[in-house]
Every structure is written in C-alpha cells, then in structure tokens.
C-alpha cells in the first residue's frame, strides 16, 4: 500500500486485507501524518502492516527502483492506495513490477481533470463544454465563450477543493487568485497551474459504482448525491440506491461505462464515476479510479452485502471479486454530513441519543473544543449520520430528520 487517505478507507482497506487472509507493507513519506489522525489511545489500522517503510512516495522515478528491490525481498503480489494523489504512482509501480492493475495511462488521465475531458471528448462521451488555460487573458476569453455561469476547477485536486461556481468575470478572477495561492497540495506535491473552466450543468448528480476485472466492467449500482455550500460544491449526503426511474439509472450506467472504456479502465479497478443527469441527458462530471469515499462503500455493503474494499483488494491481486448480493434486510441506506457554515470553536454537539434507534447505522460527530472553519470543500465535516430503510427508498428522508435533531444542539462560538 502506497500512502492512504486518513478517513474511513484507511480503516476499511487494512480490514479487507486482513479478512481476505493477506498482509501488507505500507510505504509512506510521512508516518506522522497517520499517527496524528489516529483516535487518542489507539494505534492507526495502517500500522497493522507487516512492514512500515519510509520512502519518498512523491518522487515516482526514484521510488520505482526502490520498490523493485523491496519486491525482490518481500515478493509483493499487488499494489494499491486509497489516496487520489498516489493512484498514478501505484499504477506505475504495478506496471514496472508486472503486477495486476489498470492501465497506467488511463489512471493518469482519470486523475487529471483536463486530460479526462480531452479523452472523453475525443471518444464522443458527453460532458460539459470546457476550456483549460493558465494565463488570465485566455481564461477570461474562454469564460466569455462558454458563457456564465460556469464552474472553475483545479485540474489535480480532489474532495471539491477550490471548485467554485462563478457568475461573472470578477468572481472568476477571485476564484483563479484563490487557486493560485495553493501551489502545493496537502501531500507536498507541486500542483499544475492550469485552470479548468466548465459549463455549469443542470440537473441532479449521481455516481455509478463499478468493478472491473478480466476486461469486464460490472455495475454495482447508482448512488445519489446532495450538494450544498454554494458557491462551492460540497457533498452533503448520499443514498444507495438512488431513487431513480429505471431508464434514468440505466442511462447513467451506460454513460459511466462509456467513460471507463474511453479511458481504458476496464481491468483491475474499482471506480466511482460522477454523472450529472441534465435536461439534455447524462453528462460525465469526473471519473475516479478508486472506491467511492464519503461512506458510500458502506451504504452499498449495508444494502447489498457487497464489500467494495474487499473487491478492491481482489482486483489489485488479479483475482475475481465476490460481487454476489445478499439479503441484508435493507432496501436503502443514506448518509448525511454535518457541514459547518461558520468559523469558531465547537462548544456543543451531541448525537448520543441517536445511536440506540433501530434504523440508525452510524453516528460519528466531532468532539467539543475543536476549531471549526466554514466549509469550502468535503474536508471540513463535523461528522455524519447513517440510517437505513427496510421498506424502500426512505433512508435519505430519515437521515435528514436525524441531522436536523443534531443541528438543533450544535453550538459554535
């Protein structure tokens, strides 16, 4: 495993590896990044690795020969990561070592939003009108050609960071200036200065979760998404399966499959493809060549019994994943996130009364005393609530009611 996110997947992947009867070596450039994220008094699950090795994971060219030497000693059977910033590195390592994995070029293209746009446009996969530039004069001209309102995106960040709706040239200038002030990402990697401008698409957004093995791509299902925090695009909740007519779900699935085929991601990858269901038909937002975040994998497990973390481990080893569904007793599951709208110190937040309710699956909330800032991306949540519905697609409404209870006791000063 080359690096990891420090959220839920940093626990789910080590568990899946262990429960599948495997063990892993963990490569990181900064072990303290993970030690700081562990709950007080506990060891981080990533430290359950058989070996923890410090290496400069940001220098792929230097890392490749070192991994070759480690492979000669340890006999690695697969390589993976949950962190978007290291997906291209992992694909390069798998390619160098002759291990199972998706196309390295396909992963690089998927992890660069501008490259994704070009590849999909060339293949005729529907998406928004777009332009990519570095210089202000070209950006301003392209924005006028596309037409306001539009969306400004970095080409190489994730979690909605610095993605903004802009309605005029003044807001565009502010968004470009803010992005230029973040030249290095959270993992110490220097960013590409290019800015992606996209047509603002109408309609709801969903994601299509897929697993690719042996040249075949299997759709696990479609997840819905709620978004808030304008002018940012912050994910405020999800439900699986999405409450959609069969024809619209099928259209989203076929669009996602076309995008994966165009990128060459039909082998050894669990993917999370985001789709806008516009008035003109489905449009690709982005393709993520890794399992979904924000607890979506757990929503799927609660409803279908399918463990996408375990499937990820399997396909990274070149093995057929178990995608058989079981009767879990739930027809839908939803998660809602507590998104702060102001800065300050968290003084009160209590969801203890929710945990004993029969339809509640998870409650995780921040502890009082935490410093809070108004959310600008998916990185500032104060916690989440997850619930299920055994009868139909009522899980989202249930979660929204539970979150309203939590918000009533939220105090930030």
pTM summary value: 0.96
Cα–Cα distances (Å) from 307 to 19, 207, 220, 297, 303, in that order, read: 11, 17, 11, 7, 10
Does residue 357 carry a pLDDT above 70?
yes
Cα–Cα distances (Å) from 224 to 253, 273, 361, in that order, read: 13, 12, 18
Question: Averaged over 328-335, what is the pLDDT?
Answer: 98
Alpha-carbon span 174 to 139, nearest angstrom:
13
Provide the pLDDT for residue 105. Answer: 98
Provide the pLDDT for residue 44. Answer: 84
Mean pLDDT across the chain, nearest whole number? 96
Confidence label for 222 from pLDDT (cuts 50, 70 and 90): very high
Question: Averaged over 191-209, what is the pLDDT?
Answer: 97
Six-digit token string for 242? 């999405």
Alpha-carbon span 366 to 343, nearest angstrom:
14
The secondary element (H helix, E strand) that includes residue 412 is: strand 411-412
Structure confidence by residue, pLDDT tens digits, 114-131: 999 999 999 999 999 999
Provide the pLDDT for residue 41. Answer: 64
> Which phi and psi angles does 255 have, rounded to 5°?
-65, -40
Six-digit token string for 143? 């924005």
C-alpha 41 chain-centroid distance: 28
Six-digit token string for 9? 């997947």
Structure confidence by residue, pLDDT tens digits, 30-76: 998 988 877 666 778 898 899 999 999 999 999 999 999 999 999 99
> Which phi and psi angles does 290 have, rounded to 5°?
-160, 165
Beta strands (DSSP E) in 145-185 are 150-154, 164-166
């Amino acid at each position: 495993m080359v690096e990891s996110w420090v959220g839920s997947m940093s626990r789910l992947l080590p568990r899946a590896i262990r429960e599948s009867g495997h063990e892993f070596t963990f490569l990181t450039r900064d072990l303290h990044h993970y030690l700081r994220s562990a709950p007080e008094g506990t060891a981080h699950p990533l430290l359950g690795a058989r070996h923890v090795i410090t290496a400069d994971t940001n220098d792929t060219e230097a890392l490749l020969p070192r991994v070759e030497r480690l492979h000669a000693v340890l006999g690695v059977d697969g390589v993976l990561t949950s962190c978007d910033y290291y997906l291209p590195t992992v694909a390069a390592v798998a390619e160098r070592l002759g291990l199972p994995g998706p196309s390295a070029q396909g992963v690089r293209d998927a992890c660069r939003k501008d490259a994704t746009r070009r590849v999909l446009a060339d293949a005729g996969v529907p998406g928004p009108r777009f332009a990519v530039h570095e210089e202000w004069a070209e950006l301003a001209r392209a924005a006028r050609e596309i037409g306001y309102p539009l969306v400004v995106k970095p080409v190489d960040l994730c979690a909605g960071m610095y993605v903004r709706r802009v309605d005029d040239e003044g807001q565009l200038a502010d968004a470009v200036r803010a992005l230029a002030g973040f030249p290095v990402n959270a993992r110490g990697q220097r960013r590409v200065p290019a800015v992606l401008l996209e047509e603002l698409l109408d309609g709801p957004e969903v994601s299509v979760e897929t697993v690719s093995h042996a040249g075949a791509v299997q759709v696990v299902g479609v997840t819905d998404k709620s978004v808030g925090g304008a002018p940012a695009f912050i994910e405020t909740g999800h439900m699986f399966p999405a409450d959609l007519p069969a024809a619209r779900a099928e259209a989203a699935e076929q669009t996602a499959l076309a995008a994966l085929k165009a990128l060459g991601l039909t082998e050894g990858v669990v993917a999370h493809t985001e789709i806008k269901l516009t008035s003109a038909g489905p449009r690709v937002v982005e393709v993520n060549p890794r399992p979904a975040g924000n607890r979506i994998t757990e929503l799927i497990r609660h409803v279908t019994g399918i463990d996408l973390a375990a499937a990820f481990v399997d396909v990274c080893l070149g093995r057929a994943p178990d995608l058989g569904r079981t009767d879990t007793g739930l027809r839908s599951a939803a998660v809602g996130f507590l998104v702060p709208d102001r800065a300050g110190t968290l003084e009160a937040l209590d969801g203890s009364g929710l945990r004993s309710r029969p339809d509640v699956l998870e409650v995780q909330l921040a502890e009082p005393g935490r410093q809070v800032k108004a959310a600008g991306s998916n990185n500032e949540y104060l916690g989440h609530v997850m619930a299920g519905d055994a009868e139909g697609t009522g899980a989202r409404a249930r979660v929204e009611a539970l979150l309203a209870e939590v918000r009533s006791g939220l105090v930030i000063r």
